[in-house]
Amino acid sequence: MEALLLGAGLLLGAYVLVYYNLVKAPPCGGIASLRGRTAVVTGANSGIGKMTALELARRGARVVLACRSRERGEAAAFDLRQESGNNEVIFMALDLASLASVRAFATAFLSSEPRLDILIHNAGISSCGRTREPFNLLLRVNHIGPFLLTHLLLPRLKACAPSRVVVVSSAAHRRGRLDFTRLNRPVVGWRQELRAYADSKLANVLFARELATQLEGTGVTCYAAHPGPVNSELFLRHVPGWLHPLLRPLAWLVLRAPRGGAQTPLYCALQEGIEPLSGRYFANCRVEEVPPAARDDRAAHRLWQASKRLAGLGPGEDAEPDEDSQPEDSRAPSALSNPHPEDPTVSEPYPSPQSSPDLSKVTRRIPVKAESERQGS
């Protein structure tokens, strides 16, 4: 009996160490109020994306949930409005597997929303499921779609600078090895899926790195964020059903809740003073070094050029701001104002276009990552 109790105690102690050192996510603070700001979160109908959108809404931002499923997206928007007390949470359709859908989303957004301060690429897939496409579906959804969306929305991001782009990546990028001769070949079988997923996450890290180079001096900064081991829909989506009863309790014990997974993406979106770290990779709300393949500037630039081709961007589609893309007044109110609407039952169609604080100079307050449906990181 004593040996049994000792073994149980050792197991409990080991779990506590693992939980507090590897599972529990540090809470991230940053800007207390986002009133007058607009954020887009892809794959925000569940999991990390939904928790990310919830925190942004609680801080007063106008939040656009960019999701593939209208039914789930509208339901999530309703939930978030109720939970946050912020009526400025809306759904807009976006299917990252379809370049036409990405362009349609960008057109609709730019014609209806005068601001864009935060763009969070949370959506992603880990497997092709039963879908068979004549292209690399994992690369399309996890990288090419977000690349195109960023490119199309850059004029608005620049006009509202200081602004931020956050790309939700994964520690799986460490296993990635991009083969530019096979970049867009269809993925068949689970072994190829594992490789393609890691490659797409490496592409996320290289994209953030090259984007930071391309945007230097514009006031737009970008970051790659690893949410950590998260118990989200993505974890069990492609696991055989008979394994779910066994894996669910295990996932509850050793994986973070989606709210914990949202902390690092939120840190990258909101934390003041990290502008000099644009292009870097973050995990557990701090910068983390990446392997040589993920800091290869030549590979990052080559991926940028290949991505433009795969996204169907022509030489005349360089994203430069023009007069029509600029809001009438790109300023927003102080970051120290009340993060919640005074009357949550009444909302205006757009955020109040008043003075926008510099993300690097606001005061830190209040402490506070998926992947959803087919697109969830």
191 Ramachandran zone, left/alpha/beta (phi>0; psi -120 to 50): alpha
Distance CA 141, CA 43 (A): 11
Q: Is 281 a catalytic residue?
A: no
Active-site pick, 15, 19, 20, 197: 197
Query: Do the Cβ atoms of 297 and 206 come closer than 8 Å?
Result: no
Report the chain's terminal Cα–Cα distance, integer Å.
46
Please state, as a whole number, how many other Cβ atoms lie within 10 Å of the Cβ of residue 372: 31
The pair of structure tokens assigned to 95 is 């299917």
**Segment (H or E) for 91:** strand 89-93
Cα-based torsion angle of the residue sequence 56, 58, 62, 67 in order, rounded to the nearest 10 degrees: 60
Query: Do the Cβ atoms of 376 and 353 come closer than 8 Å?
Result: no
The pair of structure tokens assigned to 45 is 């109908």
Distance CA 352, CA 61 (A): 11
Q: Amino acid identity, residue 305?
A: Q
Distance CA 199, CA 370 (A): 17
Distance CA 35, CA 26 (A): 25
Distance CA 52, CA 261 (A): 9
Distance CA 361, CA 283 (A): 23
The pair of structure tokens assigned to 352 is 């109040």
Please state, as a whole number, how many other Cβ atoms lie within 10 Å of the Cβ of residue 297: 11
3-state secondary structure at position 55: helix
For 243-289, give the DSSP string.
GHHHHHHHHHHHSB-HHHHTHHHHHHHH-TT-GGGTT-EEETTEE--
Distance CA 55, CA 28 (A): 11
What single DSSP character describes residue 89?
E
Active site members: 197
